[in-house]
Amino acid sequence: MASKTAPHHDVRILDMRLEKGLIEYLRDFQPQAVGITVSFSTDVYNALEILRAIKEYDSKIYTFVGGHHATLNPSDFLRGCVDAVVIGEGEETTPELLDL
């Protein structure tokens, strides 16, 4: 399936359950935006911890969260470390968020 992100976006995918060294990765990649998928309720606190760490590293990084849990319970993510909550299918919304 073709990516719907514009060609000027450099996208990286990390599985934070497996990857270590988030801050080092942020230093190397220097993203302008970071999105996290939260499919299960058990992952909410871990996702919020990651998002807090990202904002502490660089508050200018645009953070957003999506997935099943975010769609069903968006209020769980109305925190200072989350700039946007994606409701529903993120395939359409994510490119729109990145092009703001």
Could you tell me if residue 37 is inside a domain?
yes
Could you tell me if residue 10 is inside a domain?
no
Could you tell me if residue 49 is inside a domain?
yes
Could you tell me if residue 50 is inside a domain?
yes
Rounded Cα–Cα distance for residues 95 and 16 (Å)? 22
pTM exceeds 0.75 for this model: yes
Q: How confident is the model at residue 13 (pLDDT cuts 50, 70, 90)?
A: confident
Domain count for the chain, please give it.
Answer: 1
Could you tell me if residue 1 is inside a domain?
no
| Sequential DSSP letters for 8-73 | T-------TTT---HHHHHHHH--SEEEEE--SGGGHHHHHHHHHHHHHH-TTSEEEEESHHHHH-
State residue 37 phi and psi, 5-degree precision: -95, 130
For the chain, give the mean pLDDT.
87
Could you tell me if residue 3 is inside a domain?
no
Q: Tell me the mean pLDDT in the region 4-25.
A: 76
Question: Residue 69 sits in a domain of what CATH number?
Answer: 3.40.50.280
Could you tell me if residue 44 is inside a domain?
yes
Cα 45 to its chain centre, rounded Å, is 14
β pairing state of 84-85 and 62-66 = parallel
Q: Which domain holds residue 30?
A: 22-98
pLDDT tens-place string over residues 16-59: 777 778 999 999 999 999 999 998 999 999 999 999 999 999 99
Could you tell me if residue 12 is inside a domain?
no
